[in-house]
Amino acid sequence: MRKLGNEGTQGYETGLSGGIDRRNFLKGAALSALGVASVGALAACSPQASPDDAAVSDIAEEDAPFEAEETVDADVVIVGCGAAGFMAALRASKGGASVVVLEKGDNMTAPNGIYVSGPFAVGTDVLKNKEGGTTLTVDDAFYHVMEYSHWTPNPALMRRCLETSADAVAQLEEIGYTFEEKNFRFETPFIGEKGGFHAITNASEERAAMWEQALTDNGIDVRFSTALVSLATDDNGTVTGVNAVEKGKKNIAFNAKAVILAAGGYLGNRDLQERFLHTRKLNVARGGESICTGDTIVAAEKVGAALEKTFGYCPCEYGGTHANASRPAKQDKFDQNYAFKFGLYGCLLVDAEGKRFINEGLLCDYPMSYGSEQILKNSPWYAVVDQAYVDAMSTEGLYNYTTAKGATEDTWFIGNYFKDRILDNLPADIEEGIAEGWCFKADTLEELAEHFGLDELPETVERYNGYCEAGTDGEFGANPWYLSPVATPPFYVTENEPSAWSTFGGVRIDDCCRVLSAETNDPIPGLYAAGTDAGSLYYSPYYDIPGYCYGLCIDSGYIAAEEAVASLKA
């Protein structure tokens, strides 16, 4: 019997998280693009880490003049050294440009691109050399993605990214990356003879060393602990550089002929979460705080950039989280609290009123795509189980429990992933959750409902148990094997908040990754965006293809750099 533990897998996109000393530096960095200019002003601002933080208008003075203490000249300045920024830096340098990269993190372990599982790509040597080859084409991926997204992203840009994806993967191979084509644990559109997901086989520590070496070898000036304050423009609206602050030191004006925004979204900014996602409950999947605070998006908006209409997130697929939890679900490792698995293991899920709001099977089968949108909208959400369910999960595990109710290898793709994964420490973890306040145990449903104010829960359970008995979900159509009755006391409820590897949505760009003007929809001269700062690449809910976010990040970083360098030579 194999216990649930570290299986060596990661979420296929990871967000930037804690682990580096940046508390004082982050004070105000999330707001810097709103016009806070001096080091003193930055130090006076509050971090975007709590729902109780002050609003932007309360603590930041708009349009304060930027007083540079140092000036640096470069052909291309890139804001952010994650997946997109790193790729853009390499390509711009190889194109002959002098490149400066501004990274808010203190060192190379900070950027999110270090930790992802791998990209989706088409036409790579990895796919061509796999057993049996591949039948995957750009057309396959392009039409699937565009139909899935109802043609919401920029079609020309999407196709160009897919056509560029093999070159982007080759660039990573050139610096030492190795890949293995494999199926992910979810049922995805391109498996078997097609493939497309490129699992990175290098350890994250090895990747960080590769990035450092590649940046050094290509003569790229990386400024760690340096945050964007604002974009500089001339009288014609052309972007001419970046105003930035070096942590605890000085204000620096970086003059550039092209600026590429690639700072990784706004996961670490609760105010922007509320603005774009209408929640303040989205936590960082890897724990701690995120330094991806949307500085670039707001700075671009201030110089007239258009924002896209689609905003979303790349969810953590390993379970719920909670602000009060000492061991929230991060990755599938032994150090998380197993009670957070309830929501992903097929049980009754309810909203703050105690009403069902989702086909619970979707959160198990497709936690990053179809299952993700509703848990964000209904956060906090609640998983409700009984003692029989707890006993089953802690002794036999989800696979045996679910196949006994009719699931098979042919009908339940994700089932193989759950074989022999036993939540053996579940009773103790429940007690931990109760002590921390996000889990509750009661002998009656009425008492259970009262604790979190789930007024409709008793009626919901009665109706739900009827579906369980009938073997048919008359409300949301969940598969019978995901119907788990709540009938044997005591009863349990966990309060869950969602978490993310990254956010989606930002500035509008064209197929050359040029940022577009809100007024004219023409490109803003000198300004480009890539990765999750670029809203025109993404859709909500997240794509149903593993590695697609990371793939788009490296593809768009490649394209943005190629276009920026071409503009210098025009």
What is the tens place of the pLDDT at every residue in 238-294? 999 999 999 878 999 999 999 999 999 999 999 999 999 999 999 998 888 899 999
Identify the pLDDT of residue 329. 86
For residue 342, give the nearest of 463, 482, 480 by alpha carbon. 482
Identify the pLDDT of residue 63. 63
Identify the pLDDT of residue 36. 34
Whole-angstrom Cα Rg for the chain: 24
Asked whether the CA dihedral 30, 36, 37, 39 is positive or negative, the reply is: negative
Identify the pLDDT of residue 50. 36
Burial class (CB in 10 A: 0-12, 13-18, 19+), 128: exposed
Q: Phi and psi for 289 in degrees, rounded to 5?
A: -110, 155
Please state, for a pLDDT cut of 90, what percent of the chain lies above it: 76
Task: Write down the pTM of the prediction.
Answer: 0.88
Task: Report which residue type is found at 40.
Answer: G
Which residue positions in the chain have pLDDT lower than 50? 1-61
> Hey, what are 374's tokens?
């509703």
For residue 17, give the nearest of 376, 248, 342, 290 by alpha carbon. 290
State in Å, rounded, how far the first CA of the chain is from the last one: 64
Look at the block and give the residue holding tokens 């196709």: 159
From the centroid of its chain, how far is CA 433? 25
Identify the pLDDT of residue 467. 98
